[in-house]
Chains A and B, each alone.
Chain A
Amino acid sequence: MTDTTSSPHTVSRLTVRVRGARLAFGGRTLFDGLDFDVAGGQWTCVLGPSGVGKTSLLRLIAGLTSPKTGSETEGTVSTDDGNPVFHRVAYMAQQDLLAPWLSTLDNVLLGSRLRGEPPDRDRAHALLEKVGLGANMSDLPAALSGGMRQRAALARTLMEDRPIVLMDEPFSALDAITRVRLQDLAAENLSGKTVLLVTHDPLEALRLGHRIYVLAARPATFDRVIEPTGAPPRNLHDSTVLGEQGDLLDQLARADTEGLVS
């Protein structure tokens, strides 16, 4: 058993089920009739070549419309407690999405500000300390490095304290070392949450995922579901992790060529 089962966040273990997901763009079907589960209290990773519809799938769960005009997304999203998913998700994107006019602290407090709630400054302080930004609370985002900005975004995500966390390639714009550090930080702080991580990096999925779906081909299907052993974040020197990474890279490369041919 992984350490997440002993996590105190038992109330937040919400499983999200997606049934019959369909995405059409410009008259072409990218996927149709896709079913998958985001298991409660675990990290589920969706891996696939770019343009396969990973982001649309995540946005479907988040209740956000597609940013591209001319694309259609549909599908039912439900949770095992029967309540809607919307308003119970925290969202973290590839861009840090920090408001440039707000200090790091005020960015972390953005959610409460938008909902008109009294801001819990002490908690925001504690979270910023936790992600290593204790000294940068009053800095504007422009004064922070890319890694620091994504740390602030992580703190803002944690501040929301939602049972479901949706992450859309949150670490892909970072350098290798910063990325590994942030993966560790996220794994540590989001344990017990229901996390969906969309990524194109097989190593990232293998380090963090309890379950990895590979979305490939057109129309896309889940070719393969991998359940790596051991608790995330997994060791980069683990030979099974590296072996799996080779297999996944092969598979994604094949899927990418097929996508180009079709």
Chain B
Amino acid sequence: MRLLRPLVIFIGLIAAWQIAVMLIGVPPFILPSPADVAGALIKRQEVLLGHAGVTLLEIVLGLALGVLFGAFGALVMSYFAPARRWLLPVLVISQAIPVFALAPVLVLWLGFGMASKVAMATLIIFFPVTAALFDGLRRTDPGLLDLARTMNASRGAILRHIRIPAALPAFASGVRVATAVAPIGAIVGEWVGSSSGLGFLMLHANARMQIDTMFAALFLLAIMAVALYFAVDAALSRLLTWQPDTQPSED
């Protein structure tokens, strides 16, 4: 059932889409039917897959860098009190600036290539990861810390053996959120200025009234985002087998 359920949801959504198109009778240049989109997917698969590969690479690189920097930032803030006092306000200010507004600047500085999109995704991912891990590091069971102190543990040993493992569930929540928002960074970057990627392809197709291609790109993007999310979620669950799921399945 666990594997069947997403399949049922997927088929249900496609069916609802097809029925809506048939009932409302919208022209294909407003909303193409699933059959039209499938046609475009097959007919233009080489172009679509090429651009999808670029976008996927941007998302994965942005995710990796964002998680890396985010984790590093949280660890530094948790370990060094001055870093906490100085870095935290900077972080909050950095998030007050809408990341979308930074996109043109990033393209100006880093060019039309992949770097500006990866930077964009990294910027979006960095904050939820830092906030989640920092929060987790601050919320270690005080009893466990007392115990570690009576065991002559150094601060470094407490961080490594107590605080970090205890903060992993919070970190995992941050990474899940980051995975869900990562495609936004890449796509916005592509919209602002690029010559490849699914975001670029969508704008390009839209301008040429190739609405079926536009929807095919959107479809591929959705599939990629969902697949990435499930892959990351599965990896995190495997890492955190000790964390009990307290929500009963019948709940």
Interface residues of A (CB under 8 A from B): 59, 62-64, 67, 87, 89-91, 93, 95, 97, 99-101, 110-111, 113-116, 140, 142, 160, 166
Contact = CB atoms under 8 A, between A and B. Distances in A.
B101 to A, nearest CB: 41
Given A91-B147, A114-B158, A114-B161, A97 B152 contact: no
Of all A-B residue pairs in the complex, the 9 with the closest CB atoms, nearest first, are: A114-B153, A91-B150, A111-B151, A101-B242, A114-B157, A101-B165, A97-B147, A97-B143, A142-B244
A100 B157 contact: no
B153 to A, nearest CB: 4
Contacts of A90: 150
Given A64-B146, A97-B143, A100-B243, A110 B152 contact: no
How many chain B residues sit at the interface, stated as a range, is 20 to 34
A64 B141 contact: no
A114 B163 CA distance: 12
A102 to B, nearest CB: 8
B151 A95 contact: no
Interface of B: 141-144, 146-153, 157-158, 161-162, 165-166, 168, 242-244
Nearest to A96: B143
B151 A160 contact: yes
Contact of A93 (B143, B149, B153): B143
Given A114-B151, A114-B157, A91 B242 contact: no
Contacts, number: 62
Given A99-B162, A101-B165, A140-B242, A93 B151 contact: no
A110 B151 contact: yes
A63 B148 CA distance: 12
A63 B152 CA distance: 11
B157 A101 contact: no
For the residues of B in contact with A, the DSSP-based class is helix
Contacts of A97: 141, 143-144, 146-147
Contacts of A89: 150
B160 to A, nearest CB: 9
Nearest to B151: A111
Contacts of B162: 99, 114
A91 B146 contact: yes
12 contacts: A59-B146, A62-B150, A63-B150, A64-B146, A64-B149, A90-B150, A91-B146, A99-B162, A99-B166, A114-B148, A115-B153, A166-B150
Nearest to B158: A114
A63 B149 CA distance: 9
Given A97-B146, A115-B153, 5 more contacts: A67-B142, A89-B150, A93-B147, A99-B144, A101-B166
Nearest to A64: B146
Given A101-B168, A115-B151, A142-B242, A93 B161 contact: no
Contacts of B168: 101
A228 to B, nearest CB: 29
Contact of B152 (A67, A87, A95, A140): A87
Contact of B165 (A99, A116, A142): A99
Contacts of A116: 157
Contacts of B146: 59, 62, 64, 67, 91, 93, 97
B70 to A, nearest CB: 21
A199 B243 CA distance: 32
